[in-house]
Copies of this chain bind each other. A is one copy, B any other.
Amino acid sequence: MVSSLKEIVIGSPIASENAHHERLSKKIALAVFSSDALSSVAYATEEILLVLAVAATHYGQATTFKYVIPISIAIAVLLVLVSISYRQTIYAYPSGGGAYIVAKDNLGTTPGLIAAASLLIDYVLTVSVSIAAGVAAITSAVQGTHYEWIADHRVLICIMFILTIMLANLRGVRESGMIFSIPTYVFIFSFLGMILWGLGRYFISPVTVSTPIDLSKMAIAEGYSPAPLSLMLILGAFSNGCSALTGVEAISNGVPAFKKPESRNAATTLIWMAVTLLVLFLGTSVLAYLYHVVPLQNETAISQFARMIFSGPFKIFYYVVQAATAAILVLAANTSFADFPRLSSLLARDGFLPRQFANQGDRLVFSNGIVILSVLSSLLLILFDGDTHRLIPLYAVGVFLSFTLSQTGMVVHWWKERGESRVHKAAKESRLDASIRPEASTEGVDAARRIGAVTEIADWKQSIVINALGAVATLIVLTVFIITKFIHGAWIVVVLIPIIVVMFRSVKSHYNQVAEQLLIKPPYKLRKLGQTVIVPVSGVHTAVLSALEYAQSISKDVRAVYVSVDEKLEEKMKADWKQFDIKIPLIVLDSPYRSLVRPLLDYIDKTDRESKESLITVVMPEFVAAKWWHHFLHNQSSLFIKGALIFRPSTVVTTVRFHLKR
């Protein structure tokens, strides 16, 4: 029954051989891999405004919020740097260069694990932040009578979204082009349209759109109190805005999913994504500035200016923008549902996470990772009350830590490979290979061509400079993050990462210890062992007789053991035994304290001492009840005895079940 329920919800199992590896065109890949990065446009600008708002009462709206423009430009510059950096990773790791792999390969296990820990944290945060922001886009559009209700239930709505995404992923929704393309391109084009329309409208008739906003309803960043402008404040706003960069690394992880030549296509797509993100993010910041948007508690910044831009007969476009925003945010959360399980399966295969994370479920997906991610992100939403602004300070610390480790790893990578280009290396490997397998030679040339290394990466020195620049820039930003956002929540991540790394380490050390204990060298001759079988009996009935028959079938030395707690019952037992004429000796044990387990264990100890040569098997007669509630009606003494024997070495427990029919 459980299994058929599972089939309805999750679908019937998929055979291993049906594992498919759809290759993506650039257009579709852009949609598949960029939803995480692009969706941050929905909240990045607003998070900058929220920090600036701290100073708004001191300097007034106009003076304070103009800083959104230079801050956004600084973030855009950082974006360009990081994108160029990652473009190099794409060529160096055509099989997928996640921060964990790059850092582990080049910097060692611990940096790799630190990167992995930060990524896992960030995947969880991506789900929480994206879903919270998506729900905020919906609540913003539903101003009016229903607002209160929806706002009060936002955590519940968030969790419903997560559950839906979880189920979809457990069913194994593939990165099927259409599902991703439509919302992503609708988002891109509706935002581009809004930016153009908004700019045009502003410069044609600026008066109509600039409505005064009630400053008393203004929201400011969590944990701040009104204060004058300062460098810390500007840096804080910058840190918050850097959430725009999350997800930029996605393409570099997914190179093998591209059509051939993989690396070149992936690199092109990365550039396209970076450009799109740049335009949308800067455009959003400019609109927010021009339309004098201030952060409000009950409406997002985008919703505010979109409402002003698409007024009157164009109102429909406002709803399109909000719907597209919500949709791309849900997609962004969905990418974590691919990334988190994939990274945990890598970690599990390397022995740093429980093995269960490496198993693919019925539908060829890493089910355990999917469920854990859903639980953690839901918990986070409950703890932070489904509020994007309160989650943002935790966000991006992990992303930039993994950026830094990954870029530093790339610097080391180029240094190790200095003097030999990828082409040489590929050719060399194929030659080595060719000495064993003749057909490998052509493969080598083919591989070199495929990874597109011939023309792209001319010089290791240039590469090392670019990645070093990326590493330094992201390290500086990371430091700024930790300084400006530490007390607002970043400390949680700073504390969590070492804890998770220690956890990885102890899991690994356990697996190593188990492997050591299980290790045995061939050849091995199986020993011949004798058997002493003990059958605890409670009376003479069908279940006990079956157990005795079973015991006789595995050994000649069988003893029925009866624990006596009541003299009358003991008499009856002895009489029955005689009457049934059972040829097996009945051993009666006294139990002065009415315990069933204690005398039995003592007897086993005694038998063990007497017959050193043979194993001891305890054959337990056990009922299987016909209905679940019947279990409460039986003493479960079999369970207690089995529990007590678990920790007794060299005693084997066998359960002979008697299936009750009613």
Name A594's contact: one of B16, B520, B523 (CB within 8 Å).
B16
How far is A364 from B565 in the complex, measured between Cα atoms in Å? 12
- If A529-B553, A647-B624 touch, whether A545 touches B520 (CB-CB below 8 Å) is yes
Shortest CB-to-CB span from A267 to chain B, Å, is 32
Shortest CB-to-CB span from A499 to chain B, Å, is 14
Residue contact B518 to A542, C-beta cutoff 8 Å: yes
Indicate whether A633 reaches chain B with its CB closer than 8 angstroms: yes
Binds B, one of A298-306, A445-453, A650-658: A650-658
| Residues of A within 8 A of B (CB-CB), count | 79
Shortest CB-to-CB span from A43 to chain B, Å, is 36
Binds B, one of A250-258, A324-332, A375-383, A576-584: A576-584
Binds B, one of A95-103, A284-292, A428-436, A508-516: A508-516
Indicate whether A592 reaches chain B with its CB closer than 8 angstroms: yes
- If A550-B615, A654-B654 touch, whether A593 touches B355 (CB-CB below 8 Å) is no
How far is A656 from B554 in the complex, measured between Cα atoms in Å? 15
A14: chain B residues within 8 A (beta carbon) = 593
Shortest CB-to-CB span from A445 to chain B, Å, is 27
Q: Which residue of B lies closest to A583 (CB)?
A: B526
How far is A518 from B659 in the complex, measured between Cα atoms in Å? 10
Indicate whether A528 reaches chain B with its CB closer than 8 angstroms: yes
Indicate whether A228 reaches chain B with its CB closer than 8 angstroms: no
Shortest CB-to-CB span from A567 to chain B, Å, is 10
Indicate whether A437 reaches chain B with its CB closer than 8 angstroms: no
Indicate whether A661 reaches chain B with its CB closer than 8 angstroms: yes
Indicate whether A495 reaches chain B with its CB closer than 8 angstroms: no
Indicate whether A507 reaches chain B with its CB closer than 8 angstroms: yes
How far is A657 from B652 in the complex, measured between Cα atoms in Å? 7
Residue contact A354 to B542, C-beta cutoff 8 Å: no
A625-662: which have CB < 8 Å to B?
630, 632-635, 646-647, 649, 652-662
- If A354-B632, A526-B548, A545-B524 touch, whether A660 touches B615 (CB-CB below 8 Å) is no
Encoded as 1 (CB less than 8 Å from any B CB) or 0, chain A from 511 to 537 comes to 101100111101110111111000000
Report the 7 A-B pairs with minimum CB-CB distance, sorted nearest first. A518-B541, A554-B554, A13-B593, A654-B654, A529-B553, A15-B592, A522-B580
20 contacts between A and B (CB under 8 A): A14-B593, A359-B594, A513-B660, A518-B542, A518-B658, A520-B540, A520-B541, A520-B545, A522-B540, A522-B579, A524-B545, A524-B580, A529-B549, A529-B552, A530-B553, A550-B615, A550-B652, A624-B646, A649-B657, A654-B654
